[in-house]
């Protein structure tokens, strides 16, 4: 009987230690994960937005077009989800139907909305590096 109780205690202790070990790993799993955000782009201008790119703030390291084959027509919106960030902010750059660029910084780890209007500053001929610094 004593052997059985000792075996039960060892089994319970082993299970308890295994559970504690797994629970201790949860905070470590989130350390290497980059923060993510989502962005709703609202087009309240009279121009169609043909492309949307992401970049580091103050840099011209643009990624691929986030719209794929879509466009954001006037009075329409487009939701970008699970945008991965490796810093506190990212730069969002839109290209309109005239080939002009518009940009705004977006704070990571919180959902945002960017409303593009006819008054939103555009770069219609400057360098890509200048656009990244808008």
Confidence at residue 9, expressed as pLDDT on a 0 to 100 scale: 62
SS3 label, residue 4:
helix
Q: Which pLDDT belongs to residue 116?
A: 97
d(CA 22, CA 29): 11
Report pLDDT for 47: 97
pLDDT at res. 10: 64
* 26, 92, 99, 118, 119 from 112: Cα distances, Å: 28, 11, 25, 20, 20
pLDDT of residue 98: 95
Instruction: Categorize the per-residue pLDDT at 121 as very low, low, confident or very high, splitting at 50, 70 and 90.
Output: very high
Instruction: Give tens-digit pLDDT for 13-72.
Output: 666 555 555 445 444 444 455 678 899 999 999 999 999 999 999 888 999 999 999 999
Predicted confidence (pLDDT) per residue in 83-115, tens digit: 888 888 899 999 999 999 999 999 888 899 999
- The pLDDT value recorded for residue 2 is 57
Residues 6+ apart with CB under 8 A from 50: 67, 71, 95, 96, 97
């Amino acid at each position: 009987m004593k052997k059985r109780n000792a075996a039960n205690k060892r089994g319970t202790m082993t299970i308890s230690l295994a559970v504690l070990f797994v629970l201790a790993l949860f905070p470590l799993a989130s350390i290497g994960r980059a923060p993510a955000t989502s962005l709703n782009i609202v087009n309240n201008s009279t121009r169609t937005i043909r492309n949307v790119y992401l970049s580091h703030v103050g840099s011209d390291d643009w990624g691929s077009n986030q719209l794929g084959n879509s466009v954001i027509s006037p009075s329409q919106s487009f939701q970008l989800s699970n945008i991965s960030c490796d810093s506190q902010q990212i730069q969002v750059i839109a290209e309109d139907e005239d080939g002009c660029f518009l940009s705004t910084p977006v704070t990571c780890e919180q959902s945002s909305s960017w409303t593009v209007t006819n008054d939103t500053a555009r770069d219609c001929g400057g360098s890509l590096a200048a656009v990244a610094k808008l």
